[in-house]
Amino acid sequence: MKPLAIFCATALFSLQASALELAKHPQVFDAGQGVSLTLAPSADGRQALVQVKGINHPLDEVVFLTQVHDLGNEQSDYGIRLDGRDYNLLNKRRAWGGESLQLNLPNTPGYDLSFNESKTQAFKSSDLLALYQRQEKAGLQARLAAFDRKKRLEAYTDSLRKMDRDASEACGTPLTTSVNWDAIDDNSLIGLSVPSYCGEVVNQLAYLCGSTDAFKAESKSIKGVECSFGEKMKLHEQNGQLQFTTHADEANQGDFINAVLRNR
């Protein structure tokens, strides 16, 4: 997110927070292992302050002003902006035993929440609102909302390295996937899981090497994969390098890659 956009978003949230009227009955939930969540809905039910505590994560103790998305049938999602994209931090669903709530954290299994009556009775909504306003004034939520290209590239590169290691072990030859990152804009990095596309070639190599000794022997001539995004999916070999062009809207990419590799 550009500096002007961050400023505008911060100003908007400041206005929302200053005019926010909270409902009379906030709630505190436990998720086990010392993890808890505080939920303070607005009086009109359209927003809610949400804070998670006890997690080893940058979101720990941050108070978010969530937007409540009513899905009907007493079900709703509580959305925030995180790392350049919309993110559902909390899901409320109907269940046979009553209401079911789940906390979602990036790259972490979801937490099922249970109501804590004693903590709820001791909780003051005014304290949570004051903390939110202090954090918002310091720009904490805005920094978490902004897209960090460097951080995203590091995460995607690490994922591809793991896929490369698995394929190298399966095929008994070093395999490396390279991506033309400069050709991928921020919106694509935010909206697409690049490793899921560019890493599919080594995934299929690993599968085929583990399936037949003949293919494993043939794979020794492959030096690596060069991946890019284009208008149409293509895969061909040039001087030992697999040149892979992928496209987000192409279906059955694994089957396509598998067929090309088996007939190379």
DSSP letter assigned to residue 234: E
Helices (H), the chain: 3-18, 117-122, 125-137, 140-145, 149-171, 186-191, 194-198, 200-211, 213-218, 253-262
- Asked whether 84 and 149 are in contact (CB, 8 A), the reply is no
Nearest Cα residue to 244 out of 228, 258, 264, 263: 228
Q: What is the pLDDT of residue 109?
A: 84
Token code pair at residue 232: 């149409």
pLDDT at 35: 95
| Low-confidence residues of the chain: pLDDT under 50 | 1-15, 17
Closest to 189 measured CA to CA, from 237, 157, 213? 157
Pairwise CA distance, residues 255 & 264, whole Å: 14
Separation of alpha carbons 147 and 180, rounded Å:
19
- pLDDT confidence of residue 18: 53
Cross-strand partners of 228: 245
Q: Using DSSP, state whether 134 is helix, strand or coil.
A: helix
pTM of the predicted model over 0.85: no
In the structure encoding, which two tokens stand for residue 249, read together? 């809207």
3-state secondary structure 74-89: CEEEEEEEECCEEEEE
